[in-house]
A and B are shown apart, each in its own frame.
Chain A
């Protein structure tokens, strides 16, 4: 969807036409979902926030200013909503898509494990490394943004990410 098509959809939404939102949904749903999932790392929560995201777009279409990069606008809203959700539910376990037992992560050290599924490879990472990788790859966040979100130094974030990349390489990923 190019800029003109997106603005046409926004104009439809402003007129109360749901078809405009439907087209945005079909075009960007997977992308928005992956961004939100990258932050939350939980399918159910990601689905809830994704639904709320499109409702937000419907309600706040007026805030979009024509001429701006619409994809960046969408991603910014999606990420902020996911981060808000994360802050509100800080004490809850949000990463239940992964095995809680991360004992496998130690086995990766110095050992080439060969090819394995991406979820298996992610289970080789520690919880902290998994969060950094997810926020970086799916959430499309910078190291600085991740450091601010986690409240830890940026050096720690980059170190964790590099550690995770090393482990993933041993699992057959690059």
Chain B
């Protein structure tokens, strides 16, 4: 009996592991916005424009929700959830976003020093064929993202 329960538990753990983390969605982005993690006015960016601005291959993006601070000269805050065609595309998008963040950081060191800590604490996560990017409050951002799923 004990053996059967143990096997059932092991099986349950395995199944949970195989299922992986849930994909990121627009609801996750909304939760980040509602958590007050971003400074200034954050406005939605058209889903056709966002991949171009973020440096992601638009041909691999099936859905995109993106918000950016309108005061681009003083704030680098932004948040985006992208859904890609497949996991390989998501991996490529993750790398492209990593380069995007590096470029933003370089710009900020020259022109917007206040944004540097926020960019250094940026969160970039991939789950399945989705990718989440967020630049915001360096003290709280990572914990809030971890609590999404």
Same complex origin of A and B: no
List residues of A whose CB falls within 8 A of some B CB.
none
